[in-house]
Amino acid sequence: MVKAYKQEHVYKHPWERVTSASWRKFADPENKSTLSHVLEVDTLNRKLEPESGKLYTTRALKIHAPGPWFVHKIVGQDTCHCVESTVVDGQTRSMQLTTRNVSLQKFIEVEEKIRYDPHPENPSMWTICRQETSIKIKPFSALASMAEKVEQRCVDRFLQNSVKGREVMERICKYLEAESRATRGMSI
């Protein structure tokens, strides 16, 4: 059974600021407690395509595996490895991130897609974020009846982490806005 969730959020910040915040989200030390489920982030590949001007990036993430403690005991680990692929198109002002788990796939498959675009009503000042998450729990033969409950716990955790991620993004955007104002103030 696959559960899919869609969310939209409007950042009242320009696209350039929001996408800058996205890159800083995991690196900012202030976010360690808020995003405590993220243990490590490593950039594996970064390529700028000169013809199109598109930036392609691949990052590896190590996170606390979602789900209750007893599931961690059954699967034998409490961490999960994921791969995040990002495409930034500066010409169309679009940033797309796709994250998939590469470990624990015989138990759970998760795919998260996030897209940042200028908001159609106020493209120079607002950014719309569209997020889609699909979660598929593969029933354990001995625990098939519990698969739905485990799936719901995973969904709840992902939704909580999504809210935390938006809080972090908002904080970084405000920091970048203040930094930009200070820089403009010095040049006057």
Phi-psi region of 93 (alpha: psi -120 to 50; beta: other; left: phi over 0): left
pTM over 0.85: no
Does a structural domain hold residue 183?
no
pLDDT tens digit sequence for 68-108: 666 666 666 788 899 999 999 999 999 999 999 998 888 78
Does a structural domain hold residue 47?
yes
Euclidean distance between CA atoms 41 and 164, whole angstroms: 17
Euclidean distance between CA atoms 82 and 99, whole angstroms: 7
Does a structural domain hold residue 184?
no
Its domain, for residue 86, covers: 2-177
- DSSP-assigned beta bridge partners for residue 117: 128
| Domain count along the chain | 1
Does a structural domain hold residue 185?
no
Using the structure block, give the residue that is written with the tokens 């159609």: 120
Give, for all 188 residues of the chain, the pLDDT tens digit.
678 889 999 999 999 999 999 999 988 888 788 888 889 999 999 999 999 999 999 999 998 876 666 666 666 678 889 999 999 999 999 999 999 999 888 878 899 999 999 999 999 999 999 999 998 877 654 455 556 666 777 778 778 888 888 888 898 999 899 988 888 776 65
Does a structural domain hold residue 187?
no
Does a structural domain hold residue 188?
no
